Each structure stands twice: as C-alpha cells, then as structure tokens.
Structure 1
Amino acid sequence: MSARGLLERYASGDDPCEEVERALAAVEEWEPRLNAFAHVARDSALAQAEESRRRWRDDTARPLEGVPVAIKDLIDVAGQPTGWGTKVEPPRPARADAPLVARLRAAGAVLIGKTNCLEYAYGVAHLEIGQTNNPHDPSRTAGGSSGGSAAAVGAGIVPLAVGTDTGGSIRIPAAHCGIVGLKPSYGLVPLEGVFPLSWTLDHAGPLAGDVADAALMLGVLAGQAMAASAPRAPRIGVLRAHWPAAAENRATAAAMDAALYRLGAAELVEVTIPELGGANAALLDLLLPEASVIHRDLHARNPGGYAPGTRSQIEAGFDLPATRYVDAMREAARVRAAVEAAFPRVDLLLSPAVPFPAPHEDPEIGDAGDSEMLASGFANLTGHPALTLPCGAVDGLPVGLQLAGPLGRDAALLAAAQVVERMLGRASDTVGTTD
C-alpha cells in the first residue's frame, strides 16, 4: 500500500492503529531474515497511531497522518537509540529529533523504528551487526548504506523510509530492492542531527514505493511543496558511458536497453559529458579526508571497535595529501558546470542505477570499472538531484535506472520521473504537495 493509498483509506474511515499494528507485525515476520531493523519503537508508534486516529476523527489530519515511516540509524529520533551500525560506542538515546525527523513527526508520520545501515554509512557492514538482506532474495544484500530503509520499504513493512546518500547510498539499495530512492539537491533537506560521513557530499532523502510517494515525503522533509508540471514526453539524455562494460554485467546492460525501448515515446538523446570520467575519483579524494576528520576522536578512543574495512578507510584518509583534496574541490566545480550545461538540451540524464543486480555481499568502495557507484557518484559531487526507479529484472532481481535533473529543480525532476515511470509501466498519480 502506498502512502497516498493509506491516506485515502484513512480519509474513508480506516483506522491508522490497525495499519501500524500491521507494520509492526510485518517487522516480526521478516526479522531476522532481513536484518533491517536496529530498533523497533512499538510503544511510541502505537501512541502516535492513537493520536492519528483522533486527528482523522477530528478532521485535523496532517499531510502524513498515520503513515508508518522508518528512519536510518544514523539519524536522531528523540528517545530512541542511535547505533550508527557500529561497535565503536554503544547505542545512545537521542535527546531530540533531527530537524528532518521533527518535520516528519509534525506532519503526522508514525515513526516505527530505526533501520540498520553500514557502519557509519562508510560502505562496510560491521560483522557483529551484519548486512541487511534483500527482500527479493535474502541470500543477497539489500545494498548500502541505507539498506535497512530500502529493505523495509521493498518488503512492504512501511511505505516510506529515510536514508542518507554520500555516493549512492539511497539510490543503490533502492535499485537492489526494486523501489524508488531519491537523493535531493544538496542542502535541500537539513542534516543537523544526522551523523556525517562527508560534509561536502552528504544528503538525506526518501525511499518509497513510487515516485509520487517520494515527492510527497520530500515535500515534508524539505518543508516546501514538490508540485510541478511535467513534459508529456521528456527529453532524456542517455549517458552511455555509464552502461556496464564487464562481460558478467551484460544482462544489466540488456535490461537497460529494454527499458529505453519502452521509453520510445520520449525524445532520447545520446549525451557525452567527458568530465564525468573523473567524478568518482574526485569524490573519494573528498570523502576519505573528510570522513577521517569526522572520525578522528572516535578512532583515537576505540580503533578496535570499527569493522576492519571501515578502520582501514579512516586511516587511509589521514594520509591523503591536502593538494589532492584541493584539486578534488576544483574538479567538483568543473564537473558541476559540465553537468548543468547539459540541461538546456535535455530534461533528464539517464544512467543505470547500479551496473549489476544485488550481489551476495556489499562490494568495496571503488571508482574503477563497473564499480557500484559508477553512475551514482557524480550527483553527490555536484549536488544535482537524482533518483532511481525500477525498470526491469535480471534473474528475478530488480534493476533500476537513474534519472538526474537540474540543480535545485527537484520538483521538476520528480514530475518528469513520474512520466518515465508511467512509460515503464508503473502506475503513478500526480506529484503530491505538502502544506
């Protein structure tokens, strides 16, 4: 059930308490197979559902009144433990809501719990916590680092969840779990109360079953309406440089080609942006030192608490020369300008979301060949809004495509993405709004 569908049912007299009970029962049904939840806030969720029941009866319902929502375990929710996916320090109850959580709470969302993530969102699952598994095949990963949020939506436990994204960490797990994941424009969603990985690259955004639900949630997270008219047939720039090249990934490339065939009513234009070739290397030259500064005190206090892979990445960042960091900042500006220059010609830039279906384990962070963030990294480097939506399957596992839009034009991206979604055969209503 979509968030919009739930709101329609509530308006017709259905009880939010029953839906929240269903969501909590679904957590018990799926866990521990998915390993998606770090904490379930049963009592507070039921209390929030009672308030939503009263508000629907009193005709004072808010934009997400009674909709169950899950929150990534890097983000503070008042009274709930934040665990960060680590053993460096024990989970600590948050004193206050992060602003984005406060906006969800004020909109009537029912916060059912915290979702597992890769350790500090840094690409590695801590062995004592484990990776989140994929609802389409629990022997495979849900992706990261927002895998718990993606799995919770993909399994139908909740219609909406919040993730964070520094190099694809919303979009990659969304693609693996067959749902929609949106990384908004840089700075659109506030990040106070969200444990950082990189101040320059971090974003927070929604994971949802379809584009309209993602738009509805983003409107709440951003505190502004996300309504826009969309071109009937958007002009789509196809970034062939992001098509997987390795022989073992030919099936993903074929699924993308089949999706393009179904987009025949749109204007498809081959677009080449040479500057994208160095985007992921620049991203890593920003990510490593910034993450190491963020973790400097924690690493000094308890280096053995980290997973070995996370610890090695933090220590590598200490040794990266300042000249490479400055060069990467300059490269980010160059890539941003080059990407933005493409948009007078096209409305969207299209890539495969991930060059392969969900693997059994999360791969290491890298920037060579068919790396996991082959197509996703540039939008973090430049700050452009980008989303992934399902477009097919390989051996029963979802494949997603990525659509990127102009800087600050998130509503226009979402509106155009709904047109693409309909062309691909996924029903969707008009882009939602929020007060």
Structure 2
Amino acid sequence: MRNSEILFASIPQVAACYRSGSLSPVEVTRACLARIEELDPALNAFISVTAELALAQAVQAETELRSGTDRGPLHGIPVALKDLTDTAGVRTTCGSRLLADHVPGQDAVVTVRLREAGAVLLGKTNLLEFAYGSVHPDYGQTNNPWDVTRTSGGSSGGSAAAVAAGLCFAAFGTDTGGSIRIPAAYCGVTGLKPTYGLVPLDGVFPLSWSLDHGGPIARSSGDAALMLAALTGGPHDAAPRDLQGVRLGVLAEHARGPDMQQGVVEVFDQACDALRRAGAVLVEVHIPQLDRMDTAMMHVLLPEASAVHAAWLQQSPGAYAPDTRMHLEQGFAVSGVEHVRAQQYRRKLALDFLAALTDVDAILSPTVAWVAPHEDPVVSDNEGSTEARRTAPANLTGFPALSLNAGFSEGLPVGLQITTRPGADALALSLGMSLEALLDGNRIPPLGGTPTTERRTP
C-alpha cells in the first residue's frame, strides 16, 4: 500500500498487514511521523511529538509480533493522547502556560492501558486551555483539516484533527460538554463519550469531576470500539447489526430549531431517510424542559472547574488565557442553591431520557447545529451554549453518546449523534458501524485554505 492508503486504512486492515508481514509497525510509524512533519505546521494538532519514543515502541511491537507475542488489534498502531493525560517522562501541558514545563512522574491509567495494548504513542495533542472554553495564545488554535481557516473544535480538537488528517489512527480525548463529539463532528470522524465512569480518569487533569468523560476518537465506529476496549481493559463486543426493525427516536427538540444551519438539517434528514430505507423504524421523541439544560450545565460546570483552579487562580491569574480566567472567576459567583437545583435537574433529565428510551433502541440528533466555525465560541455566551446544546445533555445524564460523520454541507462535515442507555456503549458503536456503511462520510480531507494561526512553541 502507498502511504496515503496506509494512513487512512482501518485499524484491522493495518493489523492484518502486520501479521501477514506486508507492513511493519516501524514502517507505519515513520509514515505517521513524516505526515505530522508535513501537515502539522498548518494544523497545529500536536503540542509535543514523541518521535524517539514512538520509534522505540514501534521497534518493540515489531519484535514482539515477529516472536509470536500478540497484544491485540492495537499492537503497533500509532495513536495520540490529549495533552492533559499524564505521560511519565513526557511533558503534559494541559494547553496552559501554568504547566508548560510539567513532566509527570507516572502515567495515567489510560496511558498504561494503551501501552499494555501495544499501541505506539506519537505525541500529545493540542486542546483548549485545561479543556475549558478558549485557546491559550502560547499554543494557538488547532485548525480543521477540511478548511484550515476554521477551528477543529474544542476541547479535544487536536485529537480529532490528527485522526482526520491521517496523522494517527486513533486518539484519546475528554468530553465535559461535548469536547470529544463536537471536534469529531467538525473534523468528519467518529467520537464516543462513553457511559460516565467507564473509562478511568486517574492521571487525567480534571475540568468538572461530575461531567468529565474520557473516550476514543477514530475514523470509524469500528476503530473507536477497538480503542475503547483498550482504554477500558474490556472486551471488544461491538459489531454491525441488521437495521431491519430497529427502532430509533429522533429528538424533536434538537432535530430542528432557529439555531440550525439549513445544510445540517438537510444532511441529518438524508441520514434518517437512509436508515428508513435500511428498514429502521424512526419515531419522534420528546424530552421535556430541555430549555433548562443550558443554565443547568453552567451551574454545574462553572463552580466545579473553579474549585479545581482556586489556588492557581489566586497565585497566578495572569498565566491563564483571558477567557479561561473569566470562566474560572464566574464559577465563584454561582450560588449553592443554583448548583443544587442544577443537580436536581440532572436527575430529572436522566429519568426523562430513560423514559424516551423505553420504546426505542437509541435517540438520534445532529451533533452540532452548524459546521465548523472559524473560531471556537466562548463557552458561557449564547453561541457557546448553542454549540453544546445537543451534546451536553449526555454529560449531565452520563449516558453514552456517539458522533459520526453523516455527510457534508458545503464541503464541511456534519455530525450525527447516537445516544443510548447507560452501559449500552457497544450498542451505540454497533449502530454507528451500520449507519456509517449507509452514508457517504468516509473521505480524505483536502487541507485547503490558509491557517488562521501560526504554531507557537511555549
């Protein structure tokens, strides 16, 4: 295979080539590193590239596979980690000046699990500062492979852009209000926010302890399932399923609305039509009081994030990006009563989603109301709330939610979200595999345009 074919092959295809001897982990890792060197100046997807470590791990994987030691489907597969994930001996910046030179002494649990699975770590990906709502100017925006004048989304934008552009095969991201699924939607890849607590976050810097999730970003639901299995240490039990007779709920409050771009509506409707032709039964479902969600989300997120950063905010306020500092200061103004009422709302929201899911296997909605904008909106303003309106409910409830590429509007990817019951992550991935087979979503991005920011090295 040529490099372009190798780098956009599925993980099982590359794994099969390793085992047949037609490809080696060293060869594929070198191809990824060369592509990073070529394209990352325009994308700014990586904060740190660990080339020497990656090649050493690739040599180890190649040696093990040739000697009969097989760690599974990720053995020798190049991956990346969002740069709030601890890596022993490799700096972990969280996209902030405060941690620009921070080198952890031990690995996060997910780092350990990926190493045990034999994955090759290419580097640490760019993110919004501390996974909050803005880019720190020391690091700059991650640009979108489909149009580098636009953002790849936040906060796991570096992971999504790297996967979409063929710089790695999968990446780890975190999601507090949509930070896996929104970048996945903007970049035309697949991202899963698993059931709350399924992926351990020990050694992953927190934003909001009760909303944070960790999960995979990959180019397909099948690859995401393999990555999830490694992150959880569990079995790979997702497989495409026959859609005949599957009942799917279309969330009425999120399928339409004045915030929606017409092109996104059209792509979502076309995906629904494809499901009907495949034999699925689509019904309209409603979730009451969704209009309270934006406020409740902020009344949970803001104070929890401020509690994490209270000491640093007092000691080094000028080290934060201005918008990050503003959000952290806002958290101290949320009253205890407002926070408690938001927690009460979360309980009701979870019960309402469970009720809606009693008659359907999953709930569908667009992932975001629009395609990738030129810059990430501020989390706490109206545009920021609108961006996360369709993703944040799954963080409040803890239900698994998958975003996949449903098609394109004016050349830019459009995400479709699948939400399932708690613990039904495999079902979301299985439905994703089946839906991806129906849709025209698997394309290679052109990397067109002129980058909006230059890469900055702190």
Q: Tell me the TM-score normalized by structure 2.
A: 0.91
Write the distance in 1 (CA, Å) between the matches of 2:141 and 2:322: 15
**In 2, Cα distance between equivalents of 1:408 and 1:152:** 28
Question: Which aligned pairs between 1:3-18 and structure 2 lie closer than 5 A?
Answer: 3-13=11-21, 14-18=23-27
Cα shift at 1:416: 2.2
Match of 2:445 in 1: none
Alignment match of 2:272 (pick from 238, 260, 267): 260
Is contact 1:252-1:394 (8 Å) kept?
yes
Mean CA deviation greater in 391-400 or 416-425:
416-425
In the alignment, which residue of structure 1 is the partner of 2:137?
127
Q: Which moved further from structure 2: 96-105 or 357-366? A: 357-366
1:133-172 aligned at under 5 Å gives the runs 133-172=143-182
Shift of 1:228: 4.6
Task: Specify the alignment match of 1:349 in structure 2.
Answer: 363
What are structure 2's unaligned runs of at least 5 residues? Answer: 1-8, 443-458
Q: 1:244 to 1:127 in 2, by over 3 A?
A: farther
> 1:178 matched to which residue of 2?
188
Is the CA contact 1:88–1:303 (under 8 Å) kept in the aligned structure 2?
no
How many angstroms apart in 1 are the aligned matches of 2:312 and 2:283?
48
* Matching of residue 306 in structure 1 with residue 320 in structure 2: yes
Contact 2:251 2:365 in 1 (8 A): yes
SS at match of 2:370: coil
C-alpha contact (below 8 Å) 2:408/2:441 kept by paired residues: no
Contact 1:88/1:304 (<8 A) preserved: no
Deviation, 1:151, is 0.3
2:390 matches 1:382 = no
Contact 1:72–1:149 (Cα < 8 Å) also in 2: yes
Deviation at 1:208, TM superposition (A): 0.3
CA distance in 2, matches of 1:40, 1:118: 18
For 2:164 and 2:119, the matched residues in 1 are separated by 19
**1:214 has 2:205 as partner:** no
Mean Cα displacement is larger for which, 121-130 or 195-204? Answer: 121-130
Q: Confirm or deny that 1:279 pairs with 2:293.
A: yes
Give the Cα separation in 2 of the matches to 1:43 and 1:374. 41
**Deviation larger for 279-288 or 86-95:** 86-95
CA distance in 2, matches of 1:87, 1:46: 29
Query: Once superposed, what is the RMSD of the aligned Cα atoms?
Result: 1.5
Partner of 1:336, secondary structure, is helix
Alignment of 1:22-421 (within 5 A): 22-63=31-72, 64-228=74-238, 230-233=241-244, 234-246=246-258, 249-264=261-276, 265-366=279-380, 368=382, 371-421=386-436
CA distance in 2, matches of 1:10, 1:180: 24
Code of the aligned partner of 1:134: N
Q: For the residues of structure 2 that align with 1:262 and 1:282, how far apart are their CA atoms? A: 35
1:431 — aligned with what?
none
The amino acid across from 2:158 in the alignment is: G
CA drift of 1:376 comes to 0.2
Distance of 1:404 and 1:188 partners within structure 2: 15
Give the C-alpha shift of residue 315 in structure 1.
0.2
Equivalent pair of 1:89/1:305 in contact (CA under 8 Å): no
State the shift of 1:128 in Å: 2.1
Secondary structure of the residue aligned to 2:358 is coil
Task: Deviation per CA, 1:61-89: give whole Å up to 9, x if none.
Answer: 21211000000001011111001111134
Report Cα offsets for 1:283-326 as digits up to 9, x if no partner. 11100000000000111111001111110000000111000001
> 1:348–1:405: 8 Å Cα contact kept in structure 2?
yes
Measure the CA separation in 1 of the matches of 2:196 and 2:295: 19
One-letter code aligned to 1:295 = H
In structure 2, how many angstroms separate the alpha carbons of the residues matched to 1:249 and 1:411?
31
State how far apart, in whole Å, the 2-side matches of 1:231 and 1:335 are.
Answer: 30
Q: Structure 1 residues 333 and 134 mapped into 2: Cα distance closer, same or farther (>3 Å)? A: same
Once residues 13 and 103 of structure 2 are traced to their aligned partners in structure 1, the CA distance between those partners, rounded to angstroms, is: 33
Q: Which amino acid aligns with 2:20?
A: S
**Paired amino acid for 2:317:** P
After superposition, the Cα gap between the structure-2 partners of 1:131 and 1:228, relative to the gap in structure 1 and judged at 3 Å, is closer
Check the 8 A contact 1:244/1:250 in 2, yes or no.
no
Gaps in structure 1 of 5+ consecutive residues: 428-435
Deviations 1:79-113 (A, max 9, x none): 11001111134231121110011000000000110
Take 2:260 and 2:440, find their aligned partners in 1: how far apart are those partners? 27
Opposite residue 393 of structure 2, the aligned amino acid is: F
What do the CA deviations read for 1:13-52 (whole angstroms, capped 9, x no partner)?
0211000000111110112100000001111110000001
Kindly, what percent of the aligned residue pairs are identical? 47
> CA offsets per residue over residues 120-169 of structure 1, 9 Å max, x none?
00010012211100001100000010000000000011110000000000
Residue correspondences, number: 427
Distance 1:348 1:362 in 2: 29
Please state how far the C-alpha of 1:421 moved relative to its aligned partner.
1.9
Contact between 2:225 and 2:238, CA under 8 Å: does it hold in 1? no
CA distance in structure 1 between the aligned counterparts of 2:119 and 2:99, rounded to whole angstroms: 29
Aligned-pair CA distance for 1:247: 7.1
* Separation of aligned partners in 1, 2:61 and 2:201: 27
Q: 8 Å contact 1:275–1:338 — kept in the other structure?
A: no
Q: Cα 1:271–1:329, aligned 2, differ >3 Å: closer, same or farther?
A: same
Range with greater deviation from structure 2 (336-345 or 309-318): 336-345
TM-score normalised by L of structure 1? 0.95
Q: Within 2, Cα distance between the matches of 1:32 and 1:372?
A: 27
Aligned-partner residue type, residue 254 of structure 2: H
Deviation at 1:424, TM superposition (A): 2.2
Bigger mean CA deviation after superposition, 106-115 or 91-100: 91-100
> SS in structure 1 opposite 2:98?
coil
